[in-house]
Amino acid sequence: MFKGRWQWLRELARRARLMSMPRWLEHILPSRLLPRLLWVMAVGVLASQLIGNAIWANYLQNKSEQEVSAAADHIALGAVSAVHFFQSLPPNYRPLVIQQLREMGGTRFFVTVNDSPIPVHGIAVQPLSNQVLQVIRQIFEQKLPQLTDLRLAFAWPNQLAVSSDGMTVSQLPDHWIKNTLLMAPRPAPVLVIQTEIEPGHWLYLATLMPDPYFLDNSDPMPPERWLLQLITLFTVLLLTWVVVRWITRPLAALSEAAEAFGKGESPPLPAEGSEEFIRTAHAFGAMRERIQRYLEDREKLFAAISHDLRTPITRLKLRTEMLDDEAVRLEFHEDLDELDMMVKGALQSVKDSDIHENRTRIRLDALLGRMVRDSRMAGHEIAYSRCGLWVMVKPLALKRALSNLIDNALFYGERVEISVLEGVGKVVIVVRDHGPGVPDEALATLFDPYVRLDHGRQHNHQGHGLGLGIARNIIQAHGGVLELSNHPQGGLQAMVTLPQD
């Protein structure tokens, strides 16, 4: 009885915890607290990281685009001024001016004049580089609309040709390009502008962006940042795992103590951990002692009342013998016999349910085999197949419960079949008879005290209607379940489910 109440309380608490949780989320989340919290923390951290990274990436991208546009505008205006300047010079003066600029250490642009455009192997297409080229082309079209041919490209300086004779940047003297191009510590992309300032004269301008490595900003989420995010996630999950295990370990001990108490055991509950758990442990211990005292007092009182009732019943039987009216005397005798049977049944119920023994790991074949042999020796037809399974139970209590089920099956069925099945962490014992079965609407009442159907009264006049209730109480005390149902092929079957460990 207590186990049933305790299961009801635990089920009520579980439903209260899940009441505000959507049903679809309840199906997704793991059932245990530790994986559930880890799952929630992982999803929460990942969601926050993804949202934060998206906001940060958008900010960096907008910032990079604004900076690149401003830099491209500045370079384009300088390039337009350089084109104006070289257009204003006579052709024979241009090489002299270029040579003077190189000897002075160069200017913002490295400049050459060629008779044709120089082929340039551009870098891979990237959004920021394309944005720079578009801004420069727009400004050239606005400031120098008379130029019909403008060629723009970004190229790496290693093999970049700078003149029509095939000279590359790497072949130039250092003082020519030290203020214009960048070769060390790592090469930076070079912006090349070529335009025909007059027929047969192409002005070649090469320069760097104000931020030489601006292409690094094309990817706002580089691999290093993702690695940092993964390290952060792993650290959060590790700390969550440590903290949750530290928190849930006392809860697991409390759950095991409650389950053991429901099975009739009283293991000590360690009062350690947080202050809240220590108070809970003390409250649980006090509650367990009160319930245990209540159950003991209730059983003693019930047994004492049942035992004491037998004396007045006996005296009443003696007094009925003194009655002259035979019919009245017989009626009194029938009522007193029925009352005596109820008292004996009550005493048997207390005695059979109150079995104090330790749990032992037993082999089901040995327990059921002895019971089957005894039934066969009494002339009953009973079938059983060996299973080879073990269970941790109270042997005498389980034997009494199974005996009640087998006796009922033998009384009300022509023959009995016993089978044992193994499930995930459980063992199922099925006792089936080949009798008439039970009406479906009466199945729920078979466990009630003193309930006997018409078929049962005809076959067993001495029964009290307590056997199934006693069997169910014993099975529930083992943490199991007893279910009754009609077999599809006829007869009643009792299914006993026990935990395997």
Name the pLDDT band for 160 (thresholds 50, 70, 90): confident
* Cα gap 38→306, rounded to integer Å: 56
Which sign does the torsion angle of CA 271, 277, 278, 283 carry?
negative
| Confidence (pTM) | 0.46
In degrees and rounded to multiples of 5, residue 224 shows phi and psi of -65, -35
Q: Is residue 430 very low, low, confident or very high in pLDDT (cuts 50, 70, 90)?
A: very high
The pLDDT score that the predictor gives to residue 17 is 52
Position with higher pLDDT, 498 vs 167 = 498
Report how far Cα 9 is from the mean position of its chain's Cα atoms: 25
Is the pLDDT at 6 greater than 60? The verdict is no
The tokens of 298 are what?
């209730």
80 pLDDT higher than 50: yes
User: Distance between CA atoms of 202 and 150, rounded to whole angstroms?
Assistant: 10
How many whole angstroms separate alpha carbon 379 and alpha carbon 110? 116
Of residues 263 and 119, which shows the higher confidence score? 119
Q: Which backbone phi and psi does 479 adopt, to 5 degrees?
A: 80, 20
Confidence of residue 292 (pLDDT cuts 50, 70, 90): confident
pLDDT of 356:
59
Q: How far apart are CA 317 and CA 335, in angstroms?
A: 10
Mean pLDDT score, 157-167: 81
Is the per-residue pLDDT at 79 higher than 60? yes
pLDDT digits (tens, 9 = 90+) for 225-243: 778 888 888 888 888 888 8
Residue 90, token pair as written in the block: 């006579």
Query: Residues 386-391: what's their mean pLDDT?
Result: 88
Domains of the chain: 53-218 (no CATH), 357-499 (3.30.565.10)
In angstroms, the Cα distances linking 447 to 238, 366, 471 are 51, 28, 9
Where is pLDDT greater, at 250 or 110?
110
Region 130-153 average pLDDT? 89
Count of CB atoms situated within 10 Å of the CB of 117: 15
**Interhelix angle for 395-412 vs 364-377, to 10°?**
40
Structure confidence at residue 491 as a pLDDT band (50, 70, 90): confident
pLDDT surpasses 80 at 488: yes
- The whole-number pLDDT of residue 145 equals 87
pLDDT tens for residues 202-213?
999 988 888 877
Q: What's the pLDDT score for residue 135?
A: 92
Q: Is the pLDDT of residue 14 over 60?
A: no
pLDDT at 386 over 80: yes
pLDDT of residue 11: 59
Question: Tens digits of per-residue pLDDT, 175-228?
Answer: 677 666 766 667 788 899 999 888 888 999 988 888 877 777 766 667 777 788
H or E element in which residue 112 lies: strand 110-114
64-78, 268-282, 409-423, 466-480: lowest mean pLDDT where?
A: 268-282
* SS3 labels along 154-204: EECCCCCECCCCCCEHHHCCHHHHCCCCCCCCCCCCEEEEEEEEECCEEEE
Instruction: Please report the pLDDT score of residue 19 as a whole number.
Output: 46
Answer with the residue of higher pLDDT: 371 or 306: 371
Please state, in angstroms and rounded to a whole number, the distance separating the CA atoms of residues 157 and 186: 10
Contact present, 496 and 402 (Cβ < 8 Å):
yes
Quote the pLDDT of residue 428: 92
DSSP state of 20: T
Residue 61 has pLDDT above 70, yes or no: yes
Q: What is the pLDDT of residues 100-109, one digit of tens each?
A: 877 776 577 8
Residue-level pLDDT at 354:
52
Task: Tell me the mean pLDDT in the region 457-485.
Answer: 74
Arithmetic mean of pLDDT over the chain: 78
In this prediction, residue 235 carries a pLDDT of 86
Q: Which of 72-76, 137-141, 184-188 has the lowest mean pLDDT?
A: 184-188
Give me the pLDDT at residue 1, please.
44
Whole-angstrom distance, CA of residue 134 vs CA of residue 276: 67
Q: What is the pLDDT of residue 231?
A: 87
Predicted pLDDT of residue 2: 43
Residue % of the chain over a pLDDT of 90: 8
